[in-house]
Chains A and B, each alone.
Chain A
């Protein structure tokens, strides 16, 4: 018994060491930008990993500029709307893929796979021109359109994997009791599918929240520029100030939702990312 105890303790120490490596790996770059954002203007360029002087001045500064507040508003609005649309449309399609038999199913799966692998930059030139012609350039819908499009394959894959796990029998039972396929969808499957839909929403939100290429190509003013795009146009509180501190503070602000999602929904996110990929 004693031997086993020693062995497990040693193994625990070994694993703890490996775990620690992972924690350092994942957190150091994040902690660095947090540290920069809390440095006072005088110590900003001292190269210390931990601030010598703590200050929230950078945060005060960014929330006083319209540049950042407006971009944050754009980011939140555009990401929420895109996520909502992609998840609603994706849920419908994924339900059909998982549950129904109809011609063209494989084509849809193929198309979503193609879109998932599609090089976004190939869309930048034509979308730039098309959106200018349609008056969508530098508007919310102008960004929502590509975000929904690239969110859809992710939504369809993740959701159809989730939907395949839901017991068939319940739907059949509902149909036996006289429900139409549409009713079976609304009353039986939808509540069961809610956790999967929620997980998918998180994944799609992270995807759209992250985008930079469309955000800088299809916008030109504060009207629709999201935070990732606005960061590169940042100056300090005055035009001649070093923007490192304010950029870091803004970067930390848009990292907060990601950290919250990861903290609270780790299991779901892992399940969502892995189910779609393996079971496809």
Chain B
């Protein structure tokens, strides 16, 4: 124990080579164990994500249609030109961006309200938290079927209530509304939980002090609570934005991408499984990957240390 402490205190300024020599037996065992324990997780994650991504870059450079395997050949960037010049792709890209923006914005507002209720309610707090977890836990496809049947003409209670004469899921804008509704319903509790974790970090004294100084509830919220919660807010927004960008299940069940309501994930799936065009499907995969990477990059660069993991240990 004492040698370990001595070694590590002597380390910082002497540089790596000297430090390595001075590593005690225990320290080296610790390093070895650390690497050993992490190896399986790292291997699985890399094998199932990194390798397929590299492979899909390779596939995206080929003409590869499973219906015509004989015509497979290397064609460079031609698939990218095909996809990027196709209005179909840009429609689904726009749809995805629009759905992401609208649903995350709504989720944020509703999620904050729900977080405040879960955090502050003086009646049945456990019950509220339990109930709020149901949308989070429920299988997305199940919820999507519930919404679909609710809006099916004749069958659905919402269809009868809101528009007895129309088939809302077959009209473009109403269909978007229903997709957003399904998405917001399902994910607001998750947003609320992340925000509630942030709320728990706001010191009560601070809010009380502001209240004594004459701040209105709204001022307390905007000037005291929100700034303290900023890291939690950014994490919640980043997580939900990247998650919303992947939207698939709800659209698949509700409209299956009809009336130009398909997201990029739905388009990619349709190209692959129904079109059996691996080249184009892989090209779309790569483009989606790049888009997500850009969103994440902007977030992490723009907000720096707020990103989870970027300051491991620092905040504690």
Total A-B Cβ pairs within 8 A:
331
User: Which of chain B's residues have a CB closer than 8 A to the CB of A127?
Assistant: 48, 52
Bound: A49/B160 CA distance, A:
10
Verify if A192 is at the interface (C-beta below 8 Å from B).
no
Residue in B157, B252, B308, B309 whose CB lies within 8 Å of A32: B157
A15, B122: Cβ atoms closer than 8 Å: yes
- In this complex, what residue of B is CB-closest to A117? B242
What's the minimum C-beta distance from B269 to chain A, rounded to whole angstroms?
7
Bound: A125/B2 CA distance, A:
55
A-B contact pairs, 10 of them (CB 8 A): A22-B132, A92-B37, A95-B37, A96-B37, A97-B38, A102-B33, A181-B30, A210-B140, A258-B137, A263-B130
The stretch that binds A, out of B166-174, B215-223, B286-294, is B286-294
Verify if B127 is at the interface (C-beta below 8 Å from A).
yes
Residue in A27, A128, A146, A213 whose CB lies within 8 Å of B48: A146
B40, A121: Cβ atoms closer than 8 Å: no
The stretch that binds A, out of B81-89, B146-154, B206-214, is B146-154
User: Which of chain B's residues have a CB closer than 8 A to the CB of A123?
Assistant: 48-49, 52-53, 56, 285
A182, B48: Cβ atoms closer than 8 Å: no
The stretch that binds B, out of A54-62, A65-73, A246-254, is A246-254
A111 and B40 in contact (CB under 8 A), knowing A19-B124, A277-B197, A279-B315?
no
Bound: A129/B54 CA distance, A:
13
User: Which of chain A's residues have a CB closer than 8 A to the CB of B296?
Assistant: 114, 117
Bound: A25/B114 CA distance, A:
11
A119 and B139 in contact (CB under 8 A), knowing A125-B282, A145-B48, A251-B145?
no
What's the minimum C-beta distance from B4 to chain A, rounded to whole angstroms?
10
Bound: A122/B193 CA distance, A:
28
Residues of B near any A CB (own CB < 8 A): 1, 26-27, 29-35, 37-38, 40-42, 44-46, 48-49, 51-53, 55-56, 59, 114, 117-118, 121-124, 126-143, 145-147, 149-150, 152, 154-157, 159-160, 185, 189-190, 193-194, 196-198, 200-201, 231-232, 235-236, 238-239, 242, 245-246, 248-249, 252-253, 264-265, 268-269, 272-273, 278, 281-282, 284-286, 288-289, 292, 296, 307-309, 312, 315-316
Residues of A near any B CB (own CB < 8 A): 11-12, 15-16, 18-19, 22-23, 25-27, 29-30, 32-33, 36, 44-49, 89-90, 92-93, 95-97, 100-106, 108-115, 117-130, 145-146, 148-149, 152-153, 156-157, 164, 175-176, 180-182, 206, 209-210, 212-213, 216-217, 227-228, 231-232, 244, 247-248, 251-252, 254-255, 258-259, 261-263, 266-267, 269-270, 273-275, 277-280
B40, A93: Cβ atoms closer than 8 Å: yes
A96, B34: Cβ atoms closer than 8 Å: yes
- In this complex, what residue of A is CB-closest to B56? A126
A33 and B139 in contact (CB under 8 A), knowing A149-B44, A278-B198?
no
B312, A280: Cβ atoms closer than 8 Å: yes
Bound: A181/B34 CA distance, A:
10
